[in-house]
Amino acid sequence: MIPSRVSNLLTYAQTHGVRAAGVRLTRGFRTGPDPDSTTETASVFDSDWDVAIVLHGCRVDDLHAVTDDYWFLPPTDSTVAPGDPPVDWIDSIVRGSPPGSTLGYVTAVPSEPLVSPEHIGSLVEVESGDGSETTSIPPETVSDRAIQMWCKDDVTKMIVHYQQPCPPFRNLDIHRSGPPSELFDRVRDGHLDAEVAREAYRGSIRWVLDDIESFIENVDAPNIVLTSDHGVAFGDDGYWGATPDSIESVRRVPWVVTSGEDNKTRIPGESQ
């Protein structure tokens, strides 16, 4: 009888290709979530990496649920986000990056006035086309700007901060009439079904991961980490959204180690 691990790998190769299966084999093949696996990291700068991919409000368990569908995601560890989301996370960038830094920061999450030019060598803030809080900033736009930045000679480290999976959700039209926090208020008050909101949230995770797969295939970066600035509560301990930061689903975030290789299959501006 073929061991289940080998059987899973063969099935994965048939679905995703031999190269993807080989990467999954060398980085670790997971068949289910490992909730006991943790990596305590006070700051993103405490680990060695070339590119840090930061999701906005991504729960550990929901990322676990889709990991097997993405060849570039090995087993998922977790870490603790640094305090009040996302303000303290952004502040940790400033505290962790030395003056005169060659760090590049591409973000779809508002950062001013927290990010100091003294500590960020190159800053690109991606905005929605109409400037509205109810319009999602597509991950494709963020990835394109990040690919362009990574080609700069003066950038040796780069943080790519996506808006997803936090609201607004592109597949939940009812939410487009107010700010992101309003979605969780509607669920809490019984005006929006919790499972509908959760499915829209999971859809947002897949949306950003679909594009991240293309992104890491177009940057030469041996050490890439994927994490989040904070999690969100979906009724955990009676809370909804990103507060309070004391509960586990908000303070604990994913920590995934992978790598990238520039296959030159994407030209920024032609991905949308």
Q: Which fold has domain 34-260?
A: Alkaline Phosphatase, subunit A (3.40.720)
CA-to-CA distance for 269 and 158, rounded, in angstroms? Answer: 20
C-alpha torsion 198→202→204→206, nearest 10: -170
The DSSP code for 133 is T
Q: pLDDT (tens digit, 9 = 90+) per residue, 45-72?
A: 667 889 999 999 999 999 999 988 999 9
Reported as a pLDDT band with limits 50, 70 and 90, residue 9 is very low
Q: Where are the domains of the chain?
A: 1-31, 34-260
| Locus of tokens 């890491």 | 216
Q: pLDDT (tens digit, 9 = 90+) per residue, 213-266?
A: 999 999 999 999 999 988 999 999 888 888 777 788 988 899 999 999 999 999
Say if CB 217 and CB 23 are below 8 A apart.
no
Q: Which residue in 61, 42, 78, 88 sits closest to 229, CA to CA?
A: 88
